[in-house]
Structure 1
Amino acid sequence: MYPDLRPLLITLAAALAPCAHAGSVEVNYDARATFTDAGTTPAERERHLAALAGHLKRLGERRLVEGSRLSVELVDLDLTGTLRPSRRTAQDLRVVTGRADGPHIELRYTLSDASQVLASGRETLFDASLPRVGDARNSDGGDPLRHEKSLLDHWFEARIASAPAATR
């Protein structure tokens, strides 16, 4: 008579399990600072930086073990593409040509556990293969920061996930 809720409860428990054992991630940035290209207005800059900070926090929640702490400061951001004036709309268009106009992100980070620093540094992230041909179009309503997030994903895997005893 009643629907079997066990599959739903098992799925819910599996989804919440990583959050119960996740390490902590703190992301700092100064939205009033001068960035190479984080947006054309202060509100847009804040929105972009907050979205990237949220992405880093979600990466940490999924991958860091309990007791690990990752602190990241976003120092500079240069978004994918170049802004060009548009004759059709009041807003500028972000043009992606595929020729070295991928995102650049400069950050400082420290990964630690309860007793020691596991990794730290200051890096400028850039992937010459971003954006990939065919992925540059945003006609499907895709995430406008998908290239920047992909760059952060690769950095997280290379620097943070490879640190001893920091990730699952």
Structure 2
Amino acid sequence: MFSTMFSLISIGIFILVNHLIDIIIKSDLLSISIALLISSMLIIFVLNKYVYVFLLNIFRTQMNKTRIDSQKNELIHEHAIDSILSNSQMSYYIECYHDKYIEEPSMYGLIFKHEIDNNLDVSFIISTTGKFTNQKLSEADSYYVYHKTNMTSYYKIYGFKD
């Protein structure tokens, strides 16, 4: 839907610029070349960087209002792990569990950094620490379980105020 709409807008801009150039320059080949150059710069530099981004944000805002009115969860614009690890005043301890290691975590430690790649896969850099005791984990200020839907592993994340 969006690609069709944006393509039609781009074609319309080219036709408009071509007609304006035709008034000034009578050579068809030269006017089409100049119109193509001007309209492509206009589309790339103005529409793609500002107008389309603005229109998509308006669409998302209206879509979320409609979803809220229909008593559905609104769609968020950030990854779930970013909302979990967003508080810089906390240190986060993570335990990674796999199917065959249900009782014992396969990895654990304090999260030093996390990154999200283009496929929305999360990578953690974990500092080496000893395994926290259950008593220490029960003193956590926040507790989350992060599970990506197409994976069998899951993460328990404990937040401790610095």
For this structure pair, what is the TM-score category when the shorter chain's length is used for normalisation? Answer: under 0.3
With the length of structure 1 as denominator, give the TM-score of the two structures: 0.22
With the length of structure 2 as denominator, give the TM-score of the two structures: 0.23
Give the structure with higher Rg (CA). 2
- More helix as a share of residues: 2
